[in-house]
């Protein structure tokens, strides 16, 4: 059976499970009072259940277990897809579980920022040491790839995994924003991993894409449920980890750069916010309204217009990744998404609220 069937299966099953499980999770959250209260930095006016990450995690994990059970990680000769990376796939899966648990604990018990950071760093270190999820090379602009020593590899890997986890968490400020951005990024990563002959990593991306896009049925404005830190931590870590095992470990300079391009929107948003906070003499960890979505709302865009514009921006950088990867018709995708971004930007400007 062709392996693209298993990628479709992972996507479709994750989406279906999330569509079924999310209303159940929401009802449990309402019954037990596990809700996010309105606040000064928040745009919702009513208490909202913030356990949607549970359904995303269940859907994605169940999809991967099913694919594994039916031989999706086995090739036509009965061999594990990319044998040397088998333990890396386990590292991504187990690491995603542990990061989900950190976020869920924060949703339930409101952990301090220091505790969250220590737990994230510890789990990322474990994944680096045992799971083989390691950034071993960096690309040098206009040059070859730079091999990293073990201490440097550890530092870079921790920064990437923990940084990307919090970048997705930080953009989770509007209905459907983090889920949509993650879903688009996962879909782009799916195609790029397949083109780069990383089918095992592509299976994880497919399950993640199906889970997040299915969750939008309940999370897009007006949202019925939030994903919470459990969902955003799981998405951020898994996207970052798939970027490592699926692309950064490739032997080409272009492939090493692709995860940074695909995830450019949350990366640039987080970096700009941290720099702006430091320039203002504030702690980079104190929440405020300096994110891109806050600035677009302040400029007069509606909630939906802001989210849709950032979707288009994410799709645009994703098309750049497709072109850099050498996927056929990559330039046509860039032109199409550029026109879409310009058109969406024009509509948002025309319809901005006074």
Task: Summarize pLDDT for 167-213 with one digit per residue, the tens.
Answer: 999 999 999 999 999 999 999 999 999 998 888 899 999 999 999 99
> Nearest CA to 262 among 181, 191, 337, 317?
317
Confidence of residue 117 (pLDDT cuts 50, 70, 90): very high
Preceding omega of 297 cis (within 30 degrees of 0): no
* pLDDT confidence of residue 1: 46
Q: What does the alpha-carbon distance between residue 154 and residue 291 come to, in Å, rounded to a whole number?
A: 29
Instruction: Using CB atoms within 10 Å of the CB of residue 292, give its burial: 0 to 12 exposed, 13 to 18 middle, 19+ buried.
Output: buried
pLDDT digits (tens, 9 = 90+) for 222-274: 999 999 999 999 999 999 999 998 888 765 656 778 999 999 999 999 999 99
Q: What's the mean per-residue pLDDT of the chain?
A: 89
Would the pTM count as exceeding 0.85? Answer: yes
Alpha helix ranges (H) inside 135-263: 150-170, 177-195, 199-219, 228-243, 253-262
| Res 289: pLDDT | 86
Q: Mind listing the pLDDT tens digit for each residue in 1-35?
A: 456 889 999 999 999 999 999 999 999 999 998 88
Angle between helices 303-324 and 264-279 (to 10 degrees): 120
Count of helices and strands (H, E) across the chain = 13, 4
pLDDT score, position 79: 46
352, 300 Cβ separation under 8 angstroms: yes
Which H or E run includes 146?
strand 145-147
Q: What is the pLDDT of residue 35?
A: 86
Which range among 51-55, 86-90, 350-354 shows the weakest confidence by mean pLDDT? 350-354
What is the C-alpha separation between 9 and 210, in angstroms, rounded?
10
What value does the mean pLDDT take over residues 293-320? 94
Phi, psi of 196 (to 5 degrees): -85, 10
Percent of the chain's residues with pLDDT above 70: 89
Q: How confident is the model at residue 344 (pLDDT cuts 50, 70, 90)?
A: very high
Buried b (16+ CB within 10 A) or exposed e, 15-27: bbbbbebbeebbe
pLDDT above 90 coverage of the chain, percent: 68
With contact defined as beta carbons under 8 Å apart, do 352 and 299 qualify? Answer: yes
Residue from 314, 83, 4 nearest 182 by CA: 314
Ranking 73-82, 93-102, 112-121 by mean pLDDT, the lowest is 73-82
Decide the pairing of beta strands 145-147 and 137-139.
Answer: antiparallel
Q: Look up residue 74 and give its DSSP letter.
A: B
Task: Look at residue 86 and tell me whether its pLDDT is greater than 80.
Answer: no
Question: Could you tell me if residue 302 is left (phi over 0), alpha (psi between -120 and 50 degrees) or otherwise beta?
Answer: beta
Residue 322 in tokens: 């497709």
Domains of the chain, residue spans: 3-261
């Amino acid at each position: 059976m062709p392996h693209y069937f298993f990628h479709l299966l992972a996507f479709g099953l994750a989406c279906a499970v999330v569509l079924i499980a999310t209303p159940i999770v929401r009802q449990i959250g309402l019954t037990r009072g596990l809700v996010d209260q309105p606040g000064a930095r928040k745009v919702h006016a009513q208490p909202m259940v913030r356990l949607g990450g549970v359904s995303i995690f269940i859907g994605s994990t169940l999809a991967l277990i099913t694919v594994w059970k039916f031989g999706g990680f086995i090739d036509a000769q009965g061999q594990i897809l990319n044998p040397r990376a088998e333990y890396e796939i386990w590292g991504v899966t187990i690491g995603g579980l542990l990061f989900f648990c950190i976020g869920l604990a924060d949703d339930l018990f409101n952990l301090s920022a220091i505790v969250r950071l220590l737990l994230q760093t510890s789990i990322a270190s474990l994944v680096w040491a045992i799971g083989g999820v390691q950034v071993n090379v960096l690309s040098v602009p206009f040059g070859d790839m730079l091999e990293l020593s073990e201490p440097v590899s550890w530092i870079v890997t921790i920064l990437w995994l923990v940084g990307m986890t919090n970048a997705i968490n930080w953009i989770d400020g509007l209905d459907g924003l983090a889920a949509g951005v993650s879903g688009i990024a996962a879909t782009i990563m799916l195609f790029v991993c397949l083109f780069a002959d990383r089918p095992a990593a592509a299976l994880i991306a497919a399950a993640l894409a199906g889970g997040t896009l299915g969750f939008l049925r309940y999370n897009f404005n007006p949202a019925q449920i939030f994903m919470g830190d459990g969902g955003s931590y799981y998405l951020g870590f898994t996207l970052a980890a798939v970027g490592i095992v699926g692309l950064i470990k490739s032997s080409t300079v272009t492939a090493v750069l692709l995860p940074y391009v695909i995830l450019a929107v949350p990366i640039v948003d987080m970096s700009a916010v941290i720099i702006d906070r430091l320039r203002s003499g504030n702690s980079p960890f104190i929440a405020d309204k300096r994110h891109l979505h806050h600035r677009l709302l302040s400029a007069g865009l509606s909630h939906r217009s802001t989210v849709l514009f950032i979707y288009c921006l994410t799709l645009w950088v994703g098309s750049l990744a497709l072109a850099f990867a050498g996927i056929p018709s990559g330039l046509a995708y860039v032109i199409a998404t550029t026109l879409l971004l310009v058109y969406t930007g024009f509509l948002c400007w025309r319809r901005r609220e006074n």
